[in-house]
A and B are shown apart, each in its own frame.
Chain A
Amino acid sequence: MSSLANIDAGASARPVRHKRVLPGFGLTMGVTLSYVCVIVLLPVIALVLKGAEIGPERFWAIVTAPRTFAALRLTLSAAAMATVFNALYGLLMAWVLVRCEFPGKRIVDALMDIPFALPTAVAGLALSALFAGNGWYGAILEPMGIKVVYTIWGVALAMSFTSIPFVVRTVQPVLEDLDPQYEQAAATLGASSFTIFRKVVFPAILPAFMTGVTLSFARSLGEFGAVVFIAGNLPMQTEIASLLAVIRLEEYDYNGASAIALVLLAIALVLLGVSNLLQARALRYKGATA
């Protein structure tokens, strides 16, 4: 009896070391952290440091130089156009793939991954062949006065093609998990189909939708392979920022290259940050649990 009391006293006096139930925590965590540092964080820091060497005045001069400015403006506008299209069309695709039953649905679903799987250069070549004046689509569009190749439309088209799966693939699983009873409940309360979508379905998929749209925009900003084939790359007109960075590098203008890269990096980071903030806001109802 007394020995039992002693054990009790000893246990409460000494801090108890909690053993983890899941195995390999130290190893897996260590590997993950080192990977993030070496592969993701270090290059970004190197870029920032390289940019810092330039100095703010010189940096400003490079970025606002007409050619750089035009390239950045084109990249942003085209990426925005591509993203608006992807947001609408990607949402529709996800909806159809989840809610509609039709023959060949599995094939369409598999086709959705092609833009990811296809080498971007192949995509760029295929698109420029199609939309060139003598291509299948170009032959129809150009007589109507719509020129795609060598214009901002071509840039946006290439960006949209390579990034649309981001929207579809992030929205799709959330839509699949959405229990039909929420829509049924809204229906019994008298809501029309459009109201049900606007007030019940869309808020539920909104966080995933925003993630998809942000990723799509970030990917469009940096898209290179597909764009350079269709853009024509005319300085001041259809030259995208990443291509200009490559050109500067080839001219041994390291400062010019890293200044452009830094601007792209900053835009992408700000965007991710804003998107995460908006998502946290959209998910505020899930944060606090009783």
Chain B
Amino acid sequence: MSMTIAHMSRRFGATEVLRGIDLTVARGELVALLGPSGSGKTTLLKIIAGLDWPDAGTLEVNGEDWLPKRAQERRIGFVFQHYALFAHMTVAENIAFGLTVLPRATRPSPRQIADKVQELLGFLQIPQLAGRYPAELSGGQRQRVALGRAMAISPQLLLLDEPFGALDAQVRRDLRRWLREVLVQAGTTTVFVTHDQEEAFELADRVVVMGAGRIEQTGSPEEIHDHPASPFVARFLGMTVELPVTLRAGRAEAPGIDASALARVAMADGAATLFLRPSDITPVPDPEGRFTIRTIASTGAMLRLLLTDGAGGTEVEIEIPRRLAPAGLAEGGHVRLRPEAGRLFARTEPLSQSAAGAFATAHDPDAGRQTALSKEFTR
């Protein structure tokens, strides 16, 4: 099936959660909605599922208007962040649920339902769990059961809300590869929501970056990683170093920065901001260098350097593999910076705390949200 969303908007009270979303998902595609908390991605997913309704806009699936349809009539598989397994039913009963509640005329026989459940349990590699209750399962097993329950009704569209949100880091990484295989094998068109770029990039064919209720960028993981379309996307994808530069003939220039490794850009001359990932910068020891090394910390494989900008006083954090570190790096020493890859945008104000709040569309602008957000930026 294919899905088209046009001009969709949704507000909760005074907060605009979605501001004109246009999105097309092709048959069999695996799409990630990536964005910080409050960017509207979960609301969009719930609208597709029929658990929420937009104030304006259209939602069409295979050319059919889906907005008048209730969730029951849409035949979608929805996997909730915390799985929402029915606690009083066994794993097999949970998976069979969508089939046992079909109207009598279209309901498969108990035999057929049992076969389908067996088949899914095998497909998800959990046949031994059939008789257990959800309380007896680990987080990863619950996720598989939730996926099986959603897939049992042969959904036209599979929707996953933060599929790894409730799991710990190790299980997350293991399950990510497994889920990608399962989804590709099942061939169901899938849309999932995540705030973790690694997750989005590893799982999805196409990533949709959302911020403040808008789609900021759509593209393959590589495109988005290498060419973020806006300062928002650049910051969200870890380009946390922002250096003011001057553009001359498509090249960035600034004292103490050697940008010769960067490709020329087709932008007008003038003030610009260079966005960089901490790991894309090589420090070159230079007694006359503009940046002073404040601290050097080792994480084993990596060296993390905290630099102070002699000119502006701002701080810059960079990260280099320890075995590639040039000789002569010492705390208190001076360095030049050699960016290896980066992205130029017309001059923007450096990200301040209030700006962070503003583009997070805080639909409850509390302190916790901001902390979560800044964590996402520095990840």
Contacts and interface: CB of A to CB of B under 8 A. Distances in A.
Interface stretch (A138-146, A197-205, A214-222): A197-205
B115 interface: no
Contacts, number: 82
A275 B150 CA distance: 35
Given A285-B133, A289-B136, A190 B72 contact: yes
Given A185-B80, A204-B88, A285-B88, A190 B135 contact: no
B345 interface: no
Contacts of B89: 285
Contact of B135 (A185, A186, A286): A286
B145 to A, nearest CB: 12
B137 A189 contact: no
Interface string A171-191: 000000001011011111111
A201 B379 CA distance: 41
Nearest to A202: B88
A174 to B, nearest CB: 13
A134 interface: no
A285 B132 CA distance: 8
Nearest to A185: B84
A284 B90 CA distance: 11
Contacts of A285: 87-90, 133-135
A34 interface: no
A287 to B, nearest CB: 8
Contact of A204 (B87, B97, B98, B153): B87
Nearest to B70: A187
Nearest to B146: A185
Contacts of B101: 186, 189-192, 195, 199
Nearest to A183: B84
A282 B89 CA distance: 11
B86 interface: yes
A184 B84 contact: yes
Contacts of A181: 80, 82, 84
Contacts of A191: 72, 97-98, 101
Contacts of A289: 135-136
A290 B136 contact: yes
B24 to A, nearest CB: 22
Interface residues of A, number: 24
B97 A186 contact: yes
B97 A290 contact: no
Contacts of B80: 181, 184-185
A288 interface: yes
A189 B149 contact: yes
B138 to A, nearest CB: 6
A188 B137 contact: no
B202 to A, nearest CB: 26
B163 interface: no
Interface in A98-118: none
Contacts of B86: 182, 185-186, 199-200, 203
Interface string A20-45: 00000000000000000000000000
B49 interface: yes
A188 B88 contact: no
Nearest to B74: A188
Given A189-B98, A195-B101, A184 B135 contact: no
A187 B71 contact: yes
Nearest to A187: B71
A48 B194 CA distance: 65
Contacts of B76: 188
Interface in B67-112: 70-72, 74-78, 80, 82, 84, 86-90, 97-98, 101-102
Contacts of A190: 72, 75, 98, 101-102, 153
Nearest to A207: B88
Contact of B84 (A182, A195, A286, A290): A182
Nearest to B79: A185
B261 interface: no
A285 B137 CA distance: 11
A190 B78 CA distance: 11
Nearest to A191: B101
A288 B133 CA distance: 9
B125 to A, nearest CB: 17
Interface of B: 49-51, 70-72, 74-78, 80, 82, 84, 86-90, 97-98, 101-102, 133-138, 149-150, 153
In the A-B complex, the 8 residue pairs with the smallest Cβ-Cβ separation, listed nearest first, are: A189-B98, A285-B133, A185-B84, A191-B101, A188-B78, A181-B84, A187-B71, A203-B88
Interface of A: 179, 181-182, 184-192, 195, 199-200, 203-204, 282, 284-286, 288-290
23 contacts: A182-B84, A184-B84, A185-B80, A185-B86, A186-B86, A186-B101, A187-B72, A188-B51, A188-B74, A188-B78, A189-B101, A190-B101, A199-B101, A203-B88, A282-B88, A285-B87, A285-B90, A285-B134, A285-B135, A286-B135, A289-B135, A290-B135, A290-B138
Given A188-B51, A191-B97, 11 more contacts: A181-B80, A184-B51, A185-B78, A187-B51, A188-B78, A189-B101, A189-B150, A190-B75, A190-B101, A288-B136, A289-B136
